Amino acid sequence: MEELRFSTRVLGPAAAFRLEQHRVTQTLRSKGDIITNAVLLGRVSAGDRLEVFLDGILVGKVKLVSWDAITWEALSIDDAHRGGFDTLPDLKQALERAGYRFKPLNEYEFYRIQFTWLEEVHA
């Protein structure tokens, strides 16, 4: 089973807490990310199940709903909320912590991956 991996260092404490509470339903990834690569190569598609980890600890299983390529300008406050953030600036800070800090965000292409939670797992 493919995995979605998150870290508190990148998310920040508030978004990490929301992930643990299964309130996060979207992530933005680079083309080189393992899960993005699996989607682009057809190993993972809508309807497939993924395991979600935070700091190496399993927090649950999700079903992949959709994915698409998107630019920073096309993201909205709804994207920030689905990702566990209160504002677009909060999302921007997390993306910068994830490594998107070497050029303006509008020069990057992101892969928006949306999912729904399937079950509760308590570590």
Average pLDDT, the chain: 95
pLDDT at 18 over 90: yes
Q: Give percent above pLDDT 70 in the chain.
A: 97
Residue 84 Cα distances to 26, 41, 59, angstroms: 8, 27, 15
pLDDT of the residue at 122: 52
Both structure tokens of 78: 């709804």
pLDDT at 5 over 60: yes
Domain layout of the chain by residue ranges: 3-120
The CATH topology of domain 3-120 is: Sulfate adenylyltransferase (3.10.400)
Going by pLDDT thresholds of 50, 70 and 90, the confidence category of residue 1 is: confident
pLDDT of the residue at 40: 93
